[in-house]
Structure 1
Amino acid sequence: MNVDLTEIEPVERRVDTLLRAETDEGTYLLIVESQGKPDKKKLGSWPYYLSYLYEKYSWQPVLIVVTQSSATARWAAQPIHLGVRGCPSLTVQPLVLSPDNVPLIADAQEAVRKPSLAVLSAMTHGRGRKAPAILESLATALKEVEPDTAAAFAALVDSCLADPQAKQLWRDLMTAMQYFFRHPLAEEVREQGREQGLEQGRNEGRVEDRAEMVLDLLRWRGIEVPESVRQRVEACTDLEQLKVWSQRAVQVSRASELFVAE
């Protein structure tokens, strides 16, 4: 086989979060991977991440897998052995954080006392009915943390929230905190907000145009439009409903007949 291991074509590989930790023992690179379910591809990519980072920086890389699923935690905790069975050339043993080994912190006072643990709690327990209490407690705690650190914590939690509702709640909580606006994630959140605002504006414009069309069709046909009908049409925000009424407006003999089938 070819002894040249150079990759001719670049292959995009990204970890979820990469942190550099300065400790009394030296520098570590923390690879934080958020894992929602088992993925066989990780059995190859995780060893690659570790080897690549060690080759590039000569600092010890540490693989941390964060999951909100106990079943996924058991899968991720299994060592990855590469080589001869019983005598592997490379063994990867992830450090797994999950609901099974991280305490749940949903009390603001406790979160203020233990902000780092509250961050891990949000990363591993932040879903379901308890998510609002967990995330709101952490948001309170981050107000007491040094701004740059708090912003990094906020981004780390964001990367590990798999539940769309929990992620949106977290972003809503963070956009109210001034330090967060200095973090790159804040620009992403603001851009999404701008896009949503533009789309909402376009939808509102289409609704208003369609409502006006319904009323205009009735007037053009010489049909009197009572105030009650006008108010009901203008108050409707359902574009599909307005389309139905506009189709009826070319057939009915009285304005009230727009609503006969409802």
Structure 2
Amino acid sequence: MRMMPIASGSSGNCVYVGSDNTHILIDAGVSRKKIEEGLNKIDLSVKDLSAIFVTHEHSDHIKGIGVISRKEAIPIYATQGTIDGILEAGLGDMPEGILNRIGVDIPFYLNDLVIRPFAISHDANEPCAYSITNANKKVSVCTDLGCYDDYTVENLKESDILYVEANHDINLLQVGSYPYYLKQRILGNKGHLCNESSGQLISKVLHPDLKKVILGHLSKDNNYEKLAYETVKLEIDQSENDYKASDFEIEVAKRFETSMLNVI
């Protein structure tokens, strides 16, 4: 099983997940050209994709799907709320039947992959995160959530690779230039996870077979890579579980560049 972030952050989000036989994207919030360049690095093309699974309708997660749907007619899967948002987003005409509804907590079988959407708390219309399994391997992609609960933790357990949001440092956000309403949105239960909350969430799902944690969706203005990394690492090391941050690899996904390919 393979996983590679192609882009991460409010500028655009796209994550490749695949097996030897099946290749999918989680979100396509950057241009088709950018996605093609990322896939080319692992000897794939947009034409090799079996499907695109969308987390929610915000533009940094969907702005590439209009062009891709018209050029390649790759099936797009999302919750009904997200589909409604996509249709209202002004992405241009899309081929009939290209948008397919999936339901949270209902496994979707695509060749040798099992994709499990699960609900998250974000200010979108029926947003979700995804866990993807192939045989006994599991990759989870979970960003754009203002808070988490036991349900979130349960869905992320036993991941071999965990891609999770570490959006902002609270102090940087509070003293920064964002307007008050936007600060409140980001800090709210339907906003984004701060670095501390990200580390606390990760601490709850650690297990012996976890290979890697990738921190994603970092704010350009209210966070930076080293701060996110060190804060998450500290939260893990101070948690009450039996694991330390040194027991597995932690990586920060690149904003504009394709990140490392991970193989499990």
Identify, as 1 or 2, the structure richer in strand.
Answer: 2
TM-score (norm 1): 0.36
- Specify which structure has the bigger relative contact order, considering alpha-carbon pairs within 8 angstroms and separated by 6 or more residues: 2
TM-score (norm 2): 0.36
User: Which one has the largest radius of gyration?
Assistant: 1
